[in-house]
A = this chain, B = another copy of it.
Amino acid sequence: MTRTLQQLLGLQLPIIQAPMAGVQGSALAVAVCKAGALGSLPGAMLGMAALQQELAALEAASSGPYNVNFFCHQPPQASAAEQAIWQETLAPYFAELGVDQQNLPTGPSRTPFDAETASVLEAFKPAVLSFHFGLPAPELLQRVRRWGAKVLSSATTVEEALWLQERGVDAIIAQGLEAGGHRGMFLSQDLSTQVGTFALLPQIVKAVKVPVIAAGGIADAQGVAAALALGAAGVQVGTAYMLCTEAGTSAVHRAALKSPAARLTALSNVYTGRPARGIVNRLMRELGPISPAAPPFPLATAAVSALRAKAEAQGSSDFSALWAGQNASACREVSATLLTRQLAGLAD
């Protein structure tokens, strides 16, 4: 018997606001929680102090459950050879924008869930944790379960859904190809395995016993109804929230989402090293969208960030990761509380 998302997570609405690292913090999550849906805080790009601060803000403002999201990748060894290839590939852009190649920012930019993160979370005991790229190590998972957290993770294939079910997740997010941001794929690197929500969702629903949450292309009340008709217990919506007043979406990113350019997205690895869907822009067009020169995730990020900073200072989005799904048509500059009620069909 598949429970509804409301029953499973203690929500009023079967809606999760997709965690979007780099685009939002606790403010968006709080606004979504206020509507009775599940707001999400993306933890991947937060240091421990920032994470603590954001959790405190969520705790102070929310009475209901909220979700904290983390990546579960294996941090790669930084190979000097791979970094050299990437820097050489980007060299013309460094020259064009006057970026000092000798003083590039370093650091992983996105860290996986680890024991230190678990310790910070323990003080707040968030009701829901969602993961991307699989799951953390069993001992870490046990630790979060000890405070009663429900565990969600993304599957992009039936195989991944079965893998997650075997490891005891409480619900599976079926991430269709339409979805913006990083593909959650973790058992295969072959992009041909990635299928649209209309194909993925019913196949995962048939294959597993746990509730399935639909993600990818869902942007309005009709989309929510369609996903539920396909057997989803709930939906996860990202792109539609990106213009919300509580989102931290940058000016160039907002402009792109509002422009006709938002109709053309692609999966690209040039911003982080892993395929992620964003609006096609100059760097994606000129190097990819998939570039063999990009080092493993998340090592592509640092060098590109330097280009991005310079370009955005000039009002250009040429080097910005303009994450977006294939359906940006319902983005609206409203409060995320209202948007959530609209998604649920409770407001016009």
Contact = CB atoms under 8 A, between A and B. Distances in A.
Nearest to A239: B199
Nearest to A207: B329
Interface stretch (A50-58, A79-87, A144-152, A213-221): A213-221
Contacts of A199: 178, 216-217, 325-327
Interface string A213-237: 0001111101101110111000000
A162 to B, nearest CB: 12
Chain A interface size, under 10 / 10 to 19 / 20 to 34 / 35 or more: 35 or more
A203 interface: yes
A219 B267 CA distance: 26
A224 to B, nearest CB: 9
Contacts of A176: 196, 198
A86 B279 CA distance: 35
Nearest to A191: B266
Interface in A179-216: 192-193, 195-200, 202-203, 206, 216
A197 B195 contact: no
B229 A202 contact: no
Contacts of A231: 222
B226 A196 contact: no
A198 B196 CA distance: 8
A205 to B, nearest CB: 9
A280 interface: yes
Interface string A83-106: 000000000000000000000000
Interface of A: 157-158, 176-178, 192-193, 195-200, 202-203, 206, 216-220, 222-223, 225-227, 229-231, 263-266, 280, 289, 325-327, 329-330
